[in-house]
Amino acid sequence: MAVVDLSRLSPLAATPTGWLEAVLANFDAFLMDHASAEKKASGMAMSMVSHYPDKPSIVRAMVELAVEELNHYREVMRLILDRQLTPAADLKDPYIHELNGQVRKATEFFLLDRLIVGAVVERRGAERFALVADNLDGEPPLARFYRSIATSEKRHWELFINLAAHHFDESVVTERFNELTETEAEVVKTLPLRAALH
Ligand SMILES: [Fe+2]
Ligand SMILES: [Fe+2]
């Protein structure tokens, strides 16, 4: 598979100060939202499999991804149950909703944009899970868990970028990624700070 030169990609805007405090102040709520996010990520990967049965690179990667995200879901759900919490209902994620709204529906753009939105979302996840991991000093096992999740999500955003480059010119991929990175930064600014991944 093509490998993109990541140094040509725009940097991710830093998560606003205050987000981490909101998460640490209500970690139970964060866990609930995190579980939902993993379940939705798995579902998204399976929807890619259904949508592109004729593209073996997509099918192979997305089946693997769906299983991995579902494993994350299982692990977060174990944490929730260990805390004697009742899992919360899935809520609409305004961040994901806004970014999915950037996907152009025309056939020539649809796959590119879905892959790029996937990359942008996974990259933000990697950044935020690493922030959480770095700030759980009193809870080494939980910090280790979030470190491993951050490592997986980093691998995922690179996977989406490389899949995009497998199907489109690298310059097209880089340009669209940089555009959507800018849009994502604007979306992040508009969202309230809460104990949720986004
Ligand atoms: Fe995940
Ligand atoms: Fe992921």
User: How many domains, the chain?
Assistant: 1
Q: Calculate how far, in angstroms, residue 108's C-alpha sits from the geometric centre of ligand 1.
A: 28
The stretches in the chain having pLDDT less than 70 are none
- Are 16 and 189 spatial neighbours (Cβ–Cβ below 8 Å)? yes
Tell me whether residue 119 is in a domain: yes
Distance CA 99, CA 102 (A): 5
| Of 172, 17, 149, 181, the residue nearest 71 (C-alpha) | 149
Residue 103 lies in a domain: yes
Q: Using an 8 Å Cβ cutoff, are 10 and 181 in contact?
A: yes
Residue 131's contacts (CB-CB under 8 Å, 6 or more residues apart) are 15, 19, 20
Quote the ligand 2 centre to 119 CA distance (angstroms). Answer: 9
Q: How far does the centroid of ligand 1 lie from the alpha carbon of residue 125, in Å?
A: 8
Helical axes 27-51 vs 56-82, angle rounded to 10°: 160
What is the pTM assigned to this prediction?
A: 0.96
Residue 2 lies in a domain: no
Q: Which domain holds residue 136?
A: 20-190
Q: Which residues neighbour 23 within 8 Å (Cβ) at sequence distance 6 or greater?
A: 30, 132, 195, 196
| CATH number of the domain that residue 169 is part of | 1.20.1260.10
Find the 41 Cα to ligand 2 centroid distance in Å: 6
**Ligand 2 centroid to residue 85 C-alpha, Å:** 24
Token code pair at residue 186 = 């604007």
Q: Which of 13, 57, 7, 12 is nearest to 174 (CA)?
A: 7
Residue 12 resides in a domain: no
For residue 37, give the nearest of 87, 86, 82, 83 by alpha carbon: 87
Measured CA to CA, the distance from residue 176 to residue 116 in angstroms comes to 7
Distance 5 CA to ligand 1 centre (A): 23
Q: Is residue 93 part of a domain?
A: yes
In a domain, 146, yes or no: yes
Alpha carbon distance 8, 84 (integer Å): 46
Q: Tell whether 7 is covered by a domain.
A: no
Buried b (16+ CB within 10 A) or exposed e, 81-117: eeeeeeeeeeeebebbebbeebbeeeeeeebbbbbbb
Residue 198 lies in a domain: no
